Structures are given as C-alpha cells and as structure tokens.
C-alpha cells in the first residue's frame, strides 16, 4: 500500500473520530485537549502528607486546621455534628483555603447548617498545571482515606456532599472514586462547578469527573471552549448561556475566557440563595445547548440549577441568565427572546437585562 493510501486512511478515521466527538460535545472542542503524561502514575511521599490540610469551619467562621496525620480528630471537633449534612470543598488550581473562594463557599454552607470541611492541597496545586492535574489523583486518594475513617466514626455517606471548582471538580471525582473503593459506598452528591478542560478533555470516565462518581452529580458549564469542558459528565449538566462565554455587564469589555470561567462562582452562590429562580430547559444535545436551540422541544422540560435540582430529571439543560446581578431570569428564562447571546461576538447584546421572580 502506498504512502498516499495510508495518509487517506488516517485522515478518514481522524475525521470520523472528530465527527463523533463534534456530534457528542458540539464544536469547537476547546483548548489543550491533550497533555503528555496526564494519566502517568504519581504518588505523594509520606513525608509530604503533612502538607495536606483539612480546615473545619464552624459557627461565626471559627476554624480549626488539621493535617493528614491527625485529621481523624475531625470526628471529635466541636464544630462537627454528623447528624447534619457535610460539605467537603475541593479547591482549584493555585487556590488556598485562605483565599476568598473557599471562604465564600464555607460561609454560605455554614449558614445553611452544614458541617464544612475545606481541603487545603495548596502545596500540590500551586505547581506547574500539568503536574497539578496529576497530583490531584493521590490527593483524592488521601482525602478519601480520611473520609473513610470519619465514616467509621459516624459520618453518613448519604449526608456527605462534595463541591469542586475547576480543577477541584476533578479532585472531587478522585475523592469520590476512591471513597467508593475504600468503603463500598457512594458519596451522596457532587456539585462540579466548571470542571477544568485542559488536560482532561481526552481522558476517559475513569480518569476524570463522571456521573458514576456519586449518587447524583450536578455539573455547571460556563466556559467550555477555554478553561472549562464541553463533555456531559453528570446526571444533570447545565450549560449557562450555551456554556461557551458569559454576558458582561460592561459593554466595552466582553466576558471572555477567565471571566466566563469564574462567572460560575457568583452564579452558584446566588443559586444557593434563590434555589428556584435559575430555571433551565432540557436539550437533546450539547450542540443544541451551545446554540440555544432547545425551545422547540414539546413539551418543554425544565429543571432548577442549584440545591433544588430535580434529581429525577437527567440530561443536558440550557440556562439563560441576565447580564445583571442577581442574574436569574425566572420563568422569562424559558422564553427564546431572552437567549440572544451565543458566541463571544454577540455576548453583550442581550435583551434580558431585568431581574424576574
């Protein structure tokens, strides 16, 4: 067979593969799909586990910090009551429990009477991004080991929830996967806010976030073609304004990659405060969600983004928001005329500028 024939065959199979991915995830696919060595095994030396911290927050923002070696004492911390729900927050790349994102989440869940445990793996996430993505695997294992010990001390997996933003969303996945292996039980819920796309887009379900990781996995997408990930990874995936880019309230400054990636944070906090105001509509495909072409489905099926999500309604959902705080559109979000931004070129041309109950 000639070199030309081989070239044609390779092009054919490549086009089929890309075509299948486009039909499944929409197009374009996003940045940094492949990272060399992403699944190469890696361990954290035992001498370094003292830098894996767990921060327990209680009433009034009081905190107690534990490291891996004494984290079993969390079970007797006066801030902890295993009769309540427990939220474990996994930080993102370059983040810290001392930074505003973790504090924001901790305060919101503490106010809702949750046990709050913040995973501080800053030592392992403040390195080169390629390495950080690999290090989250052993981080997930060791966090799961602590949660398994706490389960023996009374932590109820049916009341255990994980929250992760960006790289932290995949860390939550590794925690949940290892918790399943160690205990034979599922964590109740995972809330994955804008799971990181770079280095994860071409990985299989065993190597990144997946619906099988918990009893229920809710995923929010706000920047799938840059820092986020287009693939549907949960029982419910919400593609906010199509998931590609978010509207800006500053007409001269569009909300591009970083802005859209971080936009998920205020959206989630507001969904906690207004759990029935962010109403999304079901789509037949990710491409439909990207293009806001989900309004022709009959009958229209809806779901709430946030803690009031209907766990019986699985699938891909398109969520339209306003440009302005507090962003929700209520039932007006079910009207096609409020879905006017779909790409970066028209991201500031929304008609949905009011707030609706």
pTM of the model: 0.90
What is the CA angle 322-325-331, rounded to 5? 40
Q: 297: which DSSP letter?
A: -
Between the alpha carbon of residue 114 and those of residues 21, 62, 78, 201, 300, the distances in Å are: 39, 14, 13, 33, 34
User: Domain residue spans in the chain?
Assistant: 30-346
Yes or no: say if 186 and 214 are a contact pair by the CB < 8 Å rule. Answer: yes
Task: Provide the pLDDT for residue 264.
Answer: 98
Sole residue written with tokens 């586990």: 49
Sole residue written with tokens 């096609």: 336
Strands 236-240 and 315-319: parallel
Task: Find all residues with CB under 8 Å of 183, minimum gap 6, and list them.
Answer: 148, 151, 157
Q: Could you tell me which of 196, 190, 199 has the C-alpha nearest to residue 221? A: 196
What does residue 216 show for φ and ψ, rounded to 5 degrees?
-150, 130
Task: Provide the pLDDT for residue 250.
Answer: 77
CATH of domain 30-346: 3.40.50.1820
Q: Could you tell me which of 168, 76, 84, 183 has the C-alpha nearest to residue 119? A: 168
pLDDT (tens digit, 0 to 9) for every residue of the chain, 357 residues total?
555 444 333 333 333 344 455 567 887 767 777 888 889 999 999 999 999 999 999 988 899 999 999 999 999 999 999 999 999 999 999 999 989 999 999 999 999 999 999 999 999 999 999 999 999 999 999 999 999 999 999 999 999 999 999 999 999 999 999 999 999 999 999 999 999 999 999 999 999 999 999 999 999 999 999 999 999 999 999 999 999 999 987 777 788 899 999 999 999 999 999 999 999 999 999 999 999 999 998 889 999 999 999 999 999 999 999 999 999 999 999 999 888 655 444 544 444 434 434
Distance CA 61, CA 58 (A): 6
Per residue in 48-66, pLDDT tens?
999 999 999 998 889 999 9
Distance CA 243, CA 229 (A): 9
């Amino acid at each position: 067979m000639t070199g030309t024939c081989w070239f044609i065959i390779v092009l054919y199979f490549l086009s089929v593969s890309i075509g299948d991915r486009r039909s499944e995830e929409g197009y374009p696919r996003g940045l940094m799909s492949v990272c060399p060595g992403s699944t190469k095994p890696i361990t954290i030396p035992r001498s370094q586990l003292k830098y894996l911290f767990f921060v327990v927050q209680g009433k009034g923002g009081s905190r107690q910090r534990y490291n891996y070696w004494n984290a079993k004492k969390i079970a007797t911390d006066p801030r902890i009551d295993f009769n309540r729900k427990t939220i474990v927050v996994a930080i993102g790349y370059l983040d810290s429990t001392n930074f505003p994102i973790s504090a924001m989440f901790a305060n919101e869940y503490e106010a809702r009477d949750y046990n709050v445990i913040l995973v501080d793996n800053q030592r392992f996430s403040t390195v080169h991004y390629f390495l950080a993505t690999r290090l989250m695997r052993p981080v997930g294992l060791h966090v799961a080991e602590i949660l398994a010990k706490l389960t023996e001390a009374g932590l109820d997996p049916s009341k255990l929830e994980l929250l992760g933003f960006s790289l932290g969303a995949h860390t939550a996945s590794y925690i949940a996967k290892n918790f399943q292996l160690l205990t034979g039980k599922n964590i109740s819920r995972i809330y994955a806010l804008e799971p990181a796309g770079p280095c994860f887009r071409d990985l299989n379900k065993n190597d990144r976030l997946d619906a099988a990781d918990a009893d229920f996995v809710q995923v929010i997408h706000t920047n799938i073609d840059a820092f986020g990930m287009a693939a549907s990874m949960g029982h419910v995936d919400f593609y906010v304004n199509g998931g590609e880019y978010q509207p800006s309230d500053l007409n001269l400054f569009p909300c591009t990659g970083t802005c859209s990636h971080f936009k998920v944070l205020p959206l989630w906090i507001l969904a906690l405060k207004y759990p029935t105001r962010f109403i999304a509509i079901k789509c037949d495909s990710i491409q439909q969600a990207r293009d806001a072409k989900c309004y022709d489905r009959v009958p229209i099926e809806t779901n709430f983004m946030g803690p009031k999500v209907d766990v019986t309604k699985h699938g891909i959902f398109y969520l339209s928001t306003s440009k302005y705080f507090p962003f929700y559109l209520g039932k007006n979000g079910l009207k096609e005329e409020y879905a006017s931004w779909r790409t970066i070129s028209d991201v500031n041309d929304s008609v949905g500028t009011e707030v609706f109950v």
